[in-house]
Structure 1
Amino acid sequence: MKNLLRLLKEGSRSALWASIMNAVIAVIKAITFFITGNVAMFAEMMHSIGDTANQFFVYVGSALSKKAPTDRFPGGFARLINLVLLGAVLIVGILAYETVKEGINHILAPPESGEWFYLNISVLGIAAILEAYVLFKAMKEITEDIGDNIKGFKIVTKSFKYIDRAKPATKLVFLEDLVATGGAIIAMLSVILGTFTPLIAAEGYASVIIGLMLFFVVGRVFLDNAAGVLGVADEDMERKIGEVVYDHQHVRDIQELIVFKEGAELHVELKIELDPNMSVAEADDIRDDIEARILQVKDVTDVIIEFDEDDETQTWNNPVSQE
């Protein structure tokens, strides 16, 4: 039990916050539905309930992925988060389908608009604010992972720029709450249009748009995590670590360098060339020094280093210094 609690403390904070906030939003929408009987609000309630369960599973998965290797699973559990997210996108896909279907039903048979207008607008406004808060938390977590001390509005711009470098759980929360925040705003506009203009089917069109946005999230997250399950190479980190290794005074060349992701962890395999006249003891000291330098890079968990003698043919082109 103590080990489980320790692992849960290491779970994705953004996923936990998103789950809590969506639970609050689901309760608010449920109360509104029981008061108004509005079918669209029922769909929104189910959407929030689904998001709550989805992001809670992501939080648990991100925590369990940090479990230490065992005799049965010597490779560790880092890729568990990718498997959990592949399951999570199935929930999002079902939500997307139901959202589009409900929107088409509203377009074909628009319900009466205007009743309980202020209550519906208030609930959607509160939902938009809470979703935006969770979205900002995810943005902040993305910028913190980069390692820069980013503050203010730059957190928003930098989070969009570095979304591909975010941890899998954080990326899912970011994308889901980006859609949720935008969807709440679109839903508010549709309620206004449906009440005060002849476009009484506006809520249906809004529902279809939100559903299509959710399908985009499904596709993006599925492709990212399918690659993560297989162990995808990280070219940005290869350039960064290559720079660290090549700067070592005793490294003549880098023959091979592979950095691949397992969940949020990075694994490095390296083959370098040294002076052929160097002793085994000297080479061993160099190995320890290079390994220590690489392990200082964020999220790197293990390093495998091989040596070869200098063949006087340059292989590594040091791409970072050329940028």
Structure 2
Amino acid sequence: MKEIFQLLKKGNKSALTAAIVNVLVSIIKGTTYIFTGNVAMFAETLHSLGDAANQFFVFVGSALSKKRPTKRFPNGFGRVVNLVLLGAVLIVGIMAFETIKEGLAHIFHPTESTGFLINLLVLGVCTILEGFVLVKAMHEIAHDVGLESRGLKLFKDSLANFGKAKAATRLVFLEDSVATGGGLLAMIAIIISYYTPYHQAEGIASILIGILMFIVVGKVFLDNAAGAIGESDEVMQVQIGQLVMTDPDVQDIQVITVLKEGDFFHVEVEVELDPEMTLAQVDDVKDRLEESILAVKGVVDVLVTFDEDDAISNWEYGDGR
């Protein structure tokens, strides 16, 4: 039990914050829907409820992925976060389906909802709360790539480096982008429905919110299916390759593989050395390379092998010197 609590402390903070905020938001929205019968509010309630459950599972999964390797699982538990995210998107998918179904029902059988001001007030407050979580996720993305961005630069940097962020952080960013946009969309629909006889606007908003949720499901599923299978990280591969080539005794890189598991990297590299080197010199090169590669953030193990220099250049990205 103590180990579990220690692991939970290492869980993704953005996911935990998002889960707490969305529980609060879903309660507020759900209570408002019960009293007003507003279908756009119903869509937002399901959306927030799905996000809350999703993000809580993501927090737990990101924490469990930090568990140290065991004899039974020598490669560690890095892929646990990908497996949890694959399960979590099913929740969002179900909520998206229900949201679209309710929207279609409202289009074919439109009804006028009540509580115009309370609906706008609740959605406005909840959208601000979800926007707060979105900004926190942006800061997390910037932090993952070593940036300290502020203001409009934070928005730009988070979009530019989205693919480099942790899987859990990417999911929170996607979900709360949709949540913030969905809240604004629902507010517009309520205003149209109130000031015009076009009450179907709320149903259309519900369908659009459901479609946005399905887009998140598709994106997250594809990303984490690749992660669960085990995918190479080309950006990290180039970075480590250039680092290896800075060693004065390395002539070339024959093969390099960087396998990403969750938030961690496993590195295998075969380098070419001068065939005249002694065993002691080769051992020194091995120690230097392992030390420098393990110093790279996220790398948890390294396998270095050697071959004699064949005078043919294999490293495609320059020697890094």
- Give yes or no for TM over 0.5: yes
Contact 2:82 2:262 in 1 (8 A): yes
Q: Equivalent residue of 2:11, what SS?
A: coil
Q: Equivalent residue of 1:153, what SS?
A: helix
* Corresponding residue for residue 158 of structure 1: 157
* Distance in 2 separating the partners of 1:88 and 1:294: 33
Worse-matched range after superposition: 252-261 or 44-53: 44-53
TM-score, structure 2 normalization: 0.96
Opposite residue 52 of structure 1, the aligned amino acid is: A
Where does structure 2 lack aligned partners over 5 or more consecutive residues? none
Contact 1:187 1:203 in 2 (8 A): yes
Q: Equivalent residue of 1:57, what SS?
A: helix
Q: CA deviation at 1:319?
A: 5.0
TM-score, structure 1 normalization: 0.96
Deviations 1:82-141 (A, max 9, x none): 00000001011111111111111111111114x210000011111110111101111110
Q: Which runs of 4+ in 1 moved over 3 A?
A: 37-40, 319-322
* Distance in 2 separating the partners of 1:16 and 1:92: 17
* Corresponding residue for residue 194 of structure 1: 193
Share of identical aligned residues, percent? 54
Q: Equivalent residue of 1:312, what SS?
A: coil
Change (3 A) 1:143 1:320: farther
Q: CA deviation at 1:145?
A: 0.5
* Distance in 2 separating the partners of 1:22 and 1:257: 43
The count of corresponding residues between Structure 1 and Structure 2 is 321
Change (3 A) 1:320 1:283: closer
* Distance in 1 separating the partners of 2:315 and 2:247: 14
* Corresponding residue for residue 41 of structure 1: 41
* Corresponding residue for residue 5 of structure 1: 5
1:286 lines up with 2:285 in the alignment? yes
* Distance in 2 separating the partners of 1:199 and 1:239: 56
Q: CA deviation at 1:321?
A: 6.2
Alignment of 1:161-172 (within 5 A): 161-172=160-171
* Corresponding residue for residue 295 of structure 2: 296
Q: CA deviation at 1:185?
A: 0.4
Opposite residue 237 of structure 1, the aligned amino acid is: M
Where does structure 1 lack aligned partners over 5 or more consecutive residues? none
* Distance in 1 separating the partners of 2:314 and 2:34: 68
Q: CA deviation at 1:71?
A: 2.2
Contact 1:239 1:320 in 2 (8 A): no
Q: CA deviation at 1:320?
A: 8.6
Deviations 1:38-89 (A, max 9, x none): 3443343233222211111110011001111122222211101100000001
Change (3 A) 1:319 1:116: farther
Contact 2:39 2:106 in 1 (8 A): no
Opposite residue 65 of structure 1, the aligned amino acid is: S
Q: CA RMSD in A?
A: 1.5
